[in-house]
Amino acid sequence: MDRSLKIGLTGGIASGKSVVSEYFAQLGVPIIDADEIAHNLVKPNQPLLKIIAATFGNEVIFADGSLNRAKLRQIIFANPSQRQQLEAILHPPIKQIMQTQAKQLNNCYCLLSIPLLLETQQMDLVDRVLVVDCSITLQRKRLQQRDNLSAIEIEQILQVQANRDTRLAIANEVIYNNSTLDELKQQILILHKQYQVYSASKSKI
CA distances 193 to 12, 19, 22, 70, Å, are: 25, 18, 17, 40
Helix (H, G, I), strand (E, B) or coil at 82: helix
Contacts of 95 (CB under 8 A, 6+ apart): 122, 125
Domains of the chain: 1-30+105-205 (3.40.50.300), 38-94 (no CATH)
SS3 20: helix
Which pLDDT does position 75 carry in this prediction? 92
Q: For residue 138, what are the contacts with CB-CB under 8 A and spacing of at least 6?
A: 14, 178
| Below-50 pLDDT ranges, the chain | 205
Q: What is the pLDDT of residues 67-98, one digit of tens each?
A: 999 899 889 988 889 999 999 999 999 999 99
Q: Give the pLDDT of residue 203.
A: 63
Helices (H) and strands (E) in the chain, counts: 9, 5
Residue 57 DSSP code: -
Say whether pTM exceeds 0.85. yes
